[in-house]
Amino acid sequence: MNLWIRLIWMLLKRPWRQSADPFSITVIRMGVWPHDLDLNRHVTNGRYFTMADIGRMDYVLKTGAFRTALRLKAVPIVGDAWGKFRRELKLFETFEIHTRMLGWDDKWSFLEHRFVKDGRTAGVVIMRGVFRAPKGTVPPAVLIKDLGLPEQSPAMPDWLTAWSARCDGMSAQLRHEEAKN
Tally of residues, the chain: 181
The string of DSSP codes covering 142-175 is: HHHHHTT--SSPPPPPHHHHHHHHHHHHHHHHHH
- pLDDT tens-digit readout, 33-87: 998 899 999 999 999 999 999 999 999 989 989 888 999 999 999 999 999 999 9
Instruction: Pick the closest to residue 53 from 89, 122, 5 (CA basis).
Output: 5
- pLDDT tens-digit readout, 75-129: 999 999 999 999 999 999 999 999 999 999 999 999 999 999 999 999 999 999 9
Instruction: Pick the closest to residue 166 from 97, 82, 103 (CA basis).
Output: 82
CB distance 74 to 138 below 8 Å: yes
pTM across the whole model: 0.90
Per-domain residue ranges for the chain? Answer: 2-180
Please identify, in words, the CATH class of the domain defined by 2-180: alpha beta
